[in-house]
Chains A and B, each alone.
Chain A
Amino acid sequence: MKEYDLSNYVCPLSKIKASEALDALSELKTIKLILGDIDSLKSVAQELKKRGLKPSFNREDESRFVLIIAE
């Protein structure tokens, strides 16, 4: 599973990077996204909803949100 640590990007850069990662989902099958703030989480969640994807979600701490997304 390929991991994309986007915790150093704030919104909307995190969303742009996440979208690029999601574009490769059909090839990679499963990816892990790590986000660093709540605004990034909200905007990436919007993008996932738009694409019809349901991630598994884990909040590791106040500034680390982990999403596992399968095709």
Chain B
Amino acid sequence: MTNRETLMSKKQNNNKSNHDLRVYTDITQLIADPDNPTPLVRVNRSNPNQEFQIFLKLESYNPFGSIKDRIAFKMLTSLEIGGKTVVEPSSGNTGIALTCIANALGIPIEIAVPEKIPEEKKVLLKFLGANVMEADDALCPLFPAEGARGLVNALIHSPATKDTYVSPNQYENNLNVQTHYQTTGPEIWKQTQGKIDYFFAGYGTCGTITGIGKYLKEQNPNIKIIGIEPDSMDHKLPGMKRITGLSEDLIPKILDRSVIDESVQVSDEDAYSAAIELARKDGIPVGPTTGAILYVAQQYAKTHKGLAVVISPDDAFKYASFYKDIINTK
């Protein structure tokens, strides 16, 4: 049995893991699933209206620190690698998760990252041993504002390199959607005992909002699914993508707009302020994308009642340098 088959088998038998004692035979068994869900934590002092309860789904409790751990494992263990090097564009979290899993499998990996991501993420990727390629956002006219994605596309399609590289391609990989449909969605439904009224998530690769949205709508079509995007193309919300104004060929192919009821735009300032307020009033240190999503939920709280779940993709620690810039200017 190969390393990959061994890990897949262990994960499939995860229900045999003892989550009470929390003893595991490899790190990937810690990746969240309905038997081992990430926590749902209520926002208290940062919520303007307690009749609109806001719960954060804290995905930083995955072993490699973000929501991307879920999809990275599925995509990598399903990929026909055939001796090639794995390569993926990432604003950090997918790259970190893929690298950790690739390391556990003994697979070489290269990650293309936008130059503008926090230094902490680049250091972490290099610490993990990934070959990190930094790409200027304007590098490729085929992928305007997404140079890293363009670079990986070129590695996969150039005659000179296509036999060397293989990519999970989270933007087009249906496992990205399927993983959330099979794990994150059922977790939220079970953790809220089916009482969820609103679900808030960001647009990025769009696997999260599509997979969870589809699952929740199937349980109760009245649940409102709200998508959050930056209010400009030039933003400091790594992992988040502005969908509005993008040409169809640049919108992630896995996005299913039919499950989304409303899209809301958020500024960097509001996103960072919400994240900082949450840390200072509720003691929950989250990344700026969580701040963006939470900000929209807080606006809903002023005029709505019910139970809301906000996806929190990761925590604050990988963004210390970004927060430093904001805190120093306030």
Contacts and interface: CB of A to CB of B under 8 A. Distances in A.
Contacts of A13: 151, 154-155, 158, 160-161
A42 B150 CA distance: 15
B158 A12 contact: no
A26 interface: no
For the side of the interface on A, what is the size category? 10 to 19
A70 interface: no
Nearest to A17: B160
A15 B138 CA distance: 12
Interface stretch (B139-147, B205-213, B322-330): B139-147
Contacts of A42: 141
Given A9-B154, A12-B154, A39 B161 contact: no
A8 B140 contact: no
Interface of B: 135, 139-142, 147, 150-151, 153-155, 157-161
Contact of B139 (A8, A10, A15, A39): A15
Contacts, number: 41
Nearest to A9: B158
Interface centre among A8, A12, A16 (most CB of B within 10 A): A12
A10 B141 contact: no
B150 A8 contact: no
A11 interface: yes
Contacts of B153: 10
A4 to B, nearest CB: 12
Contacts of B155: 13
A43 interface: yes
Nearest to B150: A12
B132 to A, nearest CB: 15
A14 B161 CA distance: 12
A14 to B, nearest CB: 8
Contacts of B135: 12
B141 A9 contact: no
A11 B161 contact: no
B141 A39 contact: yes
B199 to A, nearest CB: 37
Interface string A1-37: 0000000111111111000000000000000000000
B157 A10 contact: yes
A43 B158 contact: no
23 contacts: A9-B158, A9-B160, A9-B161, A10-B154, A10-B157, A10-B158, A11-B150, A11-B154, A12-B142, A12-B150, A12-B151, A13-B151, A13-B154, A13-B161, A14-B154, A15-B139, A16-B151, A39-B141, A39-B142, A42-B141, A43-B140, A43-B141, A46-B141
